[in-house]
Amino acid sequence: MFEAEEIPIWEDFTRRGRFSEAQLVRAAGGSEGRSGIQDYLLHIVAADHDAHEEHDSDPRFRAFLAKAEKLQPEPPLVWFGDTIFERPPFRRPRLAPFGIATLRALGATGSKVL
């Protein structure tokens, strides 16, 4: 579902310079793991906060989110901020701020993604 519905939105936002990076990471471990629940990290580097708001109000994302929320046993944790340090130095322009969300899906295991 994520690949079919959210990736085309990411491609649109990246093509238009609204996102410079977008990653979905399946957590393999950590301090907050619970049995039967798969955690994901969603990392977005957006042009600015307006780009984040534009994404979150996009009708395509709203439709995806309505379905994805049914798979989440609790609301996501979300953070915004400015990069302080990073290594190695990147040669391409870096945009800020970035946002990170942790998503949880019930019974999501193996290669199943939301």
In a domain, 30, yes or no: yes
- Number of domains present in the structure of the chain: 1
In a domain, 114, yes or no: no
| Mean pLDDT per 10-residue interval, the chain, length 114 residues | 95 95 87 81 89 95 94 84 75 51 50 47
In a domain, 62, yes or no: yes
In a domain, 112, yes or no: no
Q: Is the whole-model pTM more than 0.85?
A: no
Q: What is the pLDDT of residue 63?
A: 97
DSSP state of 34: B
In a domain, 34, yes or no: yes
Compute the distance between CA of residue 2 and CA of residue 22 in angstroms, rounded to an integer. 13
In a domain, 111, yes or no: no
Domain that holds residue 63: 2-106
In a domain, 17, yes or no: yes
* Sign, CA torsion 48/64/15/20: positive
Residue 43's nearest CA partner among 113, 96, 87 is 96
In a domain, 18, yes or no: yes
Compute the distance between CA of residue 43 and CA of residue 22 in angstroms, rounded to an integer. 6
Q: What is the pLDDT of residue 7?
A: 96
Compute the distance between CA of residue 114 and CA of residue 32 in angstroms, rounded to an integer. 18
DSSP state of 100: E
Q: What is the pLDDT of residue 75?
A: 84
Compute the distance between CA of residue 54 and CA of residue 39 in angstroms, rounded to an integer. 25
